[in-house]
Every structure is written in C-alpha cells, then in structure tokens.
C-alpha cells in the first residue's frame, strides 16, 4: 500500500462516510499522482531509472518551468481507468476525477489556462479535458454542496500532506 493510501486509511477509519465515498477516496488516492509518471516529469526530477521506479519528488530544486506549467494533477486525469474498469459508477468516477484534479487546490473550479498542458496529449485533447473540469466541479458542488465537496477534497489533501511529511526514505514510489 502506498503512503497516501495508508494515510487515507487512517483518516477514514475515524469517519463514517459510507462505502461509496470511501471507495471514491481510496481510488483517488491510488491514482492521484499518475501524472508524475510522465517521462518529461521524471527527467526533470533527475530520475534516470524511471522505467522501473518513478519518483514523486526530487529533493532538489529543478525544472521550474515544467513544475509551473505542467500540473501532474491534470496529467493524472487522462490516466484514470473507466468506471467499468474500476468497478464503480459513472457518478463515482466523476467524484474521483475531481478529487484527483483538486488535490493541490486547482480545479476549483478550473485549472488556469497555462496549466492545461499534458506532454502525452495534443493541445486540442488537453483543451477538451480542461473544459470538463469546471463543468464537473459545478455538478459535484450541486450534489455535495460547497462545503461537502470541499470536505471530501480536504480528506485526500490531508492524506497527501501527511504522506509527504513522512516520505519514503529514498523518495521513490514503487510500482
């Protein structure tokens, strides 16, 4: 179990959110950093062994332009499997997508236009994906309420922060 998933389990163990929300949060924790697997992101971090191990952080300052323009949260959106592949409903997948997009504070309601770049997609595909973000945010805010949605976002964010505060000694995430 990865660090963020483990930290999320600790948080969820003290709550009574129900099976659907727990499932959505756990799936979001599992896939939230998949955009960091991009070769471009890994090379900026200095990872020369990205084929077998990917890094979440470099521990050094590098790749400022990429870090500012490429948002791994945005890149992670196109990596999420379909609802059927995940064994969840389309509505649950919508929440998972939003939780992934918002785990660093973006996607409320959108990503700034200069952050809708993904090295694995055409600009047209990235633009189309970017347009879905505020639409999804609006639907989910109507479903969960503004504070309810913010609360769900905060659970994944807290797990991510907690995992970052106690990183894997080598800074690596094993597949």
pLDDT digits over 26-53, tens only? 999 999 988 787 777 777 777 776 666 7
pLDDT of 56 reads 66
The yes-or-no verdict on residue 106 having pLDDT over 50 is yes
Contacts 24+ apart (CB under 8 A), 1-5: 2/29, 2/30, 2/163, 2/173, 3/163, 3/166, 3/167, 3/168, 3/173, 4/29, 4/32, 4/33, 4/156, 4/159, 4/160, 4/163, 5/29, 5/30, 5/159
For residues 152-165, give the mean pLDDT. Answer: 93
Mean pLDDT of the chain: 84
> Minimal CA–CA distance to 99: which of 151, 142, 147?
151
Rounded to an integer, what distance in angstroms lies between the CA atom of residue 3 and that of residue 163? 5
Angle at CA of residue 28, ends 88 and 60, nearest 5°: 160
% residues pLDDT > 70 (the chain): 83
> Element (H or E) spanning 50, and its range?
none
Looking at the structure of the chain, the number of domains it has is 1
The yes-or-no verdict on residue 68 having pLDDT over 80 is no
For residue 87, give the CATH number of its domain.
Answer: 1.10.3210
Rounded to an integer, what distance in angstroms lies between the CA atom of residue 149 and that of residue 24? 13
Query: Residue 13's domain spans which residues?
Result: 3-174
The yes-or-no verdict on residue 91 having pLDDT over 80 is yes
């Amino acid at each position: 179990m990865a660090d963020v998933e483990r930290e999320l389990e600790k948080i969820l163990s003290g709550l009574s959110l129900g099976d659907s929300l727990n499932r959505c949060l756990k799936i979001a924790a599992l896939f939230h950093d998949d955009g960091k697997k991009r070769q471009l992101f890994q090379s900026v971090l200095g990872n020369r062994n990205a084929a077998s191990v990917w890094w979440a952080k470099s521990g050094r300052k590098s790749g400022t332009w990429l870090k500012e323009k490429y948002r791994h949260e945005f890149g992670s959106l196109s990596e999420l499997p379909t609802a059927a592949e995940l064994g969840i409903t389309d509505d649950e997948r919508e929440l998972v997508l939003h939780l992934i997009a918002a785990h660093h504070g973006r996607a409320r309601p959108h990503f700034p236009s200069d952050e809708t770049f993904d090295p694995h997609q055409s600009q047209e595909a990235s633009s189309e994906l970017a347009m879905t973000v505020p639409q999804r945010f609006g639907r989910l805010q109507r479903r969960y309420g503004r504070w309810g949605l913010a609360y769900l976002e905060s659970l994944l964010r807290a797990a991510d922060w907690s995992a970052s505060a106690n990183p894997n000694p080598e800074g690596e995430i094993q597949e």
